[in-house]
Structure formats: C-alpha cells, structure tokens
C-alpha cells in the first residue's frame, strides 16, 4: 500500500498546493468543496455537498460495515509570509495548520481505495470549520446534524504535525486532546478620574486579584494528577491614561480531560471572579462549553499501530507528549469508535510550527499518511484479518 501511495505523491502535492493557494475560512469553503466534489465524482464516489453548510460527503461501496475518514478543510485568518510558488492568493487567509494537506491525503486515499475490493462502505467526511464556529457549533457537529455519521461503525483521521520528523507518527491511546471551554467575564467597578482613585471602584485593580485567583485554581484546587489549564488571553479596559474605567473584560480558555475536572474548574472560576464583589465591585460571567475531550478507542489505536508498524517499522511509532490542544474530531468519536494519529511532516532543521505565518510542511509525508489510513480502513472493513 505504501508503494501504491508513493505513486500518487505528485498528484497529492498538486492538489495540496492548489488548495493552499486558495484558502477559505470556516463555513466559507465554497471553492474547496467544489474541487473536492469534482474530484470525488470523477473517482466514482457518490457525492453529497452542502453537508454541515459547506462540507462534502463521498461514499464508495455498499452496506455495512461503514468506515468514515475525516479531513478538515478550513484555513486561518493569517497573512502568509512564505515566498513560495504556492503562496496564498487570498489576503489575510492562509492554510497555516495543514488542513490543505489533510484534504489532499484524503483524496489520495480515495484514489487508492478505488483499486481495492472490499465489503461494506467507505465514507469520506470533508469537514468545514474545524478552527472556528458559526456562533454556536464548529463543522463536526454541523455535519453530524446533517447525518454524516449515520450508521458509521468506525471513524479515522490524521493531523499533520510539524514537530514530528517525516516518517514517524504519534498516536495516543484514549485521551488524544483536551476539552476546551471559553470564559467571558466582565469586572464591573465605578469609573472616575485617575488622580482620585479613592473616589472610584477600580475594575483594573480588582481584575488583578481575579486573575491571580484564576491562575491559582489549577495548582491549588485540583489534584496534581488532574491535567488542566486556565489561561487569560485577552484583557480590555479603559481608553485613557488618566481615566479609571467602569469595566474590564476578560477572555480566557479552559482545558481539561474529564467531566469531573471540567465541573470543578467551572465552580472554582466562579468563586475566583466573585472576588470582584468582595472588593466592592460586581461582575458578569459566562462559560461557553466548547469541544469535548477527544478519546481514541484502544482497539482502533492498536490496529493503526499494527498497520503503521508494518509499513514504517515499530520504532517509528511514538506516544505523544501530553498536550492540552483541542480538536473537534472529538464529536465524531462520540458517535463511533475511532482514532486520530499525528503524521510527522517536519521540514528538517525547521522550527516553524502550526498557526505560524511561515508554516509549511514536508510533502514527503503524504504517501505515509495515505497508506496508513487506506490500509487501516481496509482492515476495519474486514478485507484483511486483524
């Protein structure tokens, strides 16, 4: 399978660079969806467009079992700084996380599977808007809402990883990424002149204590064995040096792996923000629940490891370092057992990472990712005994 995938290397690179030059933000992937639909139709797949707004579902085969392969396709609001022939042509938009590669690899897998005989159905999920939401949901739950996971027995995905050498993969058993919630808080005081702070209730002063309390939750309120993160990423308050404002707005991210820790974090965050009232002010607070933790199924992980070991060698399979990033593939894994693995794509000697304006990848990883997912899909479909 790896040799077959290597024969498609140049085609996958062409697809990826085309998509890279024409990046589109979440739920705006009109050109990308049209390109995918055209190619998948040409390969003989049954294609449905407009799934989850701008997603594409493509199927080959009939009946059960059904194995789904997911590839996200949205770009980021970043101005590309690379000087390459395939540089983004859309100002302020860039594929800086590798979703262009995910689409290209998935279409390579689709091509590989047209040459195989198997029982059951393979279903490709070309997903919009992994990076953002529409004010309520990201692309995965929107596709699920439109029936993309109906009757699916297993679901697979990969994500390129610019910190892992090409030729290696990382795959986690069980928790593969964190759940993420968003904190919105407004610290309310009473504004006035900066020369007379004793006559006001200073929300900036109060915010300092609130932030210290928030940052103390993980180290002082949780067990050391419970991974979690609370980070304040945005603070806004005031417009002049000599005016104490009425309000300060805080925006933060909350990361966790289990429901118990999530509940504890929410409780302690409310207590921390209530310090505002102790110091004479007030507050408004909302916690928006986001992506759930991503839970790889141990049996599917074992299969992916077995396939990767046969194709690459067992020494090329690594456990990932603990990471509190989030991934909306988690929603698909709530509907069917499956797994995502990280595909090494590091350019040797390069320190650029995901979401960097100069992000790029080693395209030599494409056949590796395609071969692992194609072979794993066939085994899940029962063509080869595990």
Residue 351 tokens read as 């320190």
d(CA 237, CA 192): 13
Residue 241 makes CB contacts below 8 A (sequence gap 6+) with 194
Q: Is 80 a catalytic residue?
A: no
**Residue-wise burial string across 69-107, b where 16 or more C-beta atoms lie within 10 A, e elsewhere:** bbbbbbbbebebebeeebebeeeebbbbbbbbbbbbbbb
What is the phi-psi region of residue 174: left when phi exceeds 0, alpha when psi lies from -120 to 50, beta otherwise?
A: left
Q: Is 74 a catalytic residue?
A: yes
Catalytic one of 29, 130, 247, 360? 130
Catalytic one of 72, 74, 346, 363? 74
CB 365 within 8 A of CB 341: no
Pairing relationship of beta strands 338-346 and 154-165 according to DSSP bridges: parallel
Residues listed for the chain:
386
d(CA 260, CA 244): 39
Which phi and psi angles does 158 have, rounded to 5°? Answer: -135, 160
Cα separation values, 131 from 162, 254, 311, 355, Å: 17, 16, 31, 11
Beta strands in 18-177 (DSSP E): 46-51, 55-62, 66-72, 120-127, 154-165, 169-170, 174-177
Which phi and psi angles does 267 have, rounded to 5°? Answer: -65, -45
Nearest to 50 by CA among 150, 155, 143, 151: 143
With tokens 């928790």, the residue in question is 175
d(CA 365, CA 176): 21
| Numbers of helices and strands, H then E, in the chain | 12, 16
Catalytic residues: 74, 130
């Amino acid at each position: 399978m790896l040799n077959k995938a290597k024969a498609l290397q140049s085609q996958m690179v062409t697809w990826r660079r085309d998509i890279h030059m024409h990046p589109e933000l979440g739920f705006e992937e009109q050109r990308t969806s049209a390109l995918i639909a055209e190619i998948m139709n040409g390969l003989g797949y049954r294609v449905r467009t407009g799934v989850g707004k701008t997603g594409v579902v493509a199927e080959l085969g009939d009946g059960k079992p059904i194995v789904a392969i997911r590839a996200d396709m949205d770009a980021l609001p970043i101005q590309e700084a690379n000087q390459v022939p395939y540089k983004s042509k859309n100002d302020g938009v860039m594929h800086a996380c590798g979703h262009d590669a995910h689409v290209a690899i998935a279409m390579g897998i689709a091509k590989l599977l047209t040459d195989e005989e198997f029982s059951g159905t393979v279903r490709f999920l070309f997903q919009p808007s992994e990076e953002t939401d529409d004010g309520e949901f990201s692309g995965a739950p929107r596709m699920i809402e439109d029936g993309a996971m109906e009757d699916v027995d297993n679901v697979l995905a990969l994500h390129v990883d610019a910190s892992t050498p090409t030729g290696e993969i990382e795959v986690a058993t069980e928790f593969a990424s964190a759940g993420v919630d968003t904190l919105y808080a407004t610290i309310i005081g009473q504004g006035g002149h900066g020369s007379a702070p004793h006559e006001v209730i200073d929300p900036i002063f109060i915010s300092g204590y609130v932030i210290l309390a928030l940052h103390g939750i993980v180290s002082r309120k949780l067990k050391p064995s419970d991974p979690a993160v609370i980070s304040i990423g945005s603070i806004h308050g005031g417009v002049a040096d000599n005016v104490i404002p009425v309000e300060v707005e805080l925006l933060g991210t909350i990361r966790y792996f289990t429901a118990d820790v999530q509940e504890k974090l929410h409780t302690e965050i409310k207590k921390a923000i209530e310090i505002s009232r102790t110091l004479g002010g007030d507050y408004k607070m909302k916690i928006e629940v986001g992506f759930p933790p991503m839970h790889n199924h141990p049996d599917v992980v074992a299969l992916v490891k077995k396939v990767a070991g046969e194709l690459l060698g067992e020494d090329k399979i690594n456990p990932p370092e603990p990471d509190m990033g989030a991934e909306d593939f988690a929603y698909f894994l709530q509907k069917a057992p499956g797994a995502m693995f990280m595909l090494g794509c590091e350019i040797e000697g390069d320190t650029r990472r995901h979401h960097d304006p100069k992000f790029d990848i080693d395209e030599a990883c494409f056949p590796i990712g395609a071969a692992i997912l194609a072979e794993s899909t066939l085994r899940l479909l029962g063509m080869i005994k595990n």
